[in-house]
Structure 1
């Protein structure tokens, strides 16, 4: 999947500045795609040059002018074409921490343990952000009410996947820490 597809997905929410899109990537799209602000701005320029998005300048007092981006007809057509493509294979895990865990018996177990503990903290923090986003999306409705009546359900469905991913990161991390702690206790005992 190209970054442009994730950008177009984010722009389905409406007109946004590059800054707004970067925040959206961090808050919601990050549960399935990541990009640095630099990558995002380069892609916005390319997409504008290709006619997939339009940019309008908003003048601001005491601040630099900002550009607001929106999908063009060609952009909506590109979203439709992208979703019509045959789905690719499921993504594979590429995680440096897991390589370190694989070698924990021959490596620095304390450093690996610290890496796992940090991953658990990150996952809990992301899960808390996702839960706040979920509450905003539901806006007092039940999940069933939201799914039955929301104009767009894609953001909620991807949010659920991101939440499940982070819950699993916490579950696995806590298990891995328990196993490493028990092995360390046996080695010292």
Structure 2
């Protein structure tokens, strides 16, 4: 996933300066995408050159002039096309699906919903594999006994974390699908 997708997701909230985007990243998309202010400014320049964003100069007293960026029609079309693409497998820090969800109000709700449903399916299958592995590791023992006797507990603890991660993916995905279904029904 490119930084530009996260920038476009942030710009869906409206016009913003590079400085505002850098601050806003901390509040809006930082939970699934991080970028330095320098990366943001470079990406905004590239996006402007490609016609995805437009900038206007705002003159300020006692401060340097600032440029406010907004998505162009080409940028919005790129968001729509982007949200319709299949999402990649989840990652711990950068999650493309969450950028798509962030863009869903301006994008393809049906495609975003399908991507979330795919994530639920993926998490469900992964959780089932993790549960089979847990059963093999415990080998008939209670968890407390295993933790007291096992030579290595790191793999078990990380397995538990992975299981919780996938359970949360499923819980969140089911909620998100319900909300998008309601939004799609309201659009009709």
- TM-score, normalised to structure 2, is 0.51
Distance 1:128 1:92, change over 3 A: closer
Structure 2 residue aligned with 1:125: 125
4+ residue segments displaced more than 6 Å? none
> In 2, Cα distance between the equivalents of 1:130 and 1:92?
17
Once the two structures are TM-superposed, the CA of residue 184 in structure 1 deviates from its matched residue by 1.5
Structure 2 residue aligned with 1:155: 155
- TM-score, normalised to structure 1, is 0.50
Structure 2 residue aligned with 1:184: 184
Structure 2 residue aligned with 1:111: 111
Long gaps (5+) in structure 1 = 1-90
RMSD across aligned positions (CA): 1.3
Paired residues, what number? Answer: 98
User: Which string of whole-angstrom CA distances, capped at 9 and with x for unpartnered residues, describes residues 81-115 of structure 1?
Assistant: xxxxxxxxxx9620111111000010111111110
Long gaps (5+) in structure 2 = 1-90
> In 1, Cα distance between the equivalents of 2:126 and 2:175?
19
Once the two structures are TM-superposed, the CA of residue 183 in structure 1 deviates from its matched residue by 1.4
> In 2, Cα distance between the equivalents of 1:125 and 1:185?
29
Distance 1:159 1:92, change over 3 A: closer
Structure 2 residue aligned with 1:168: 168
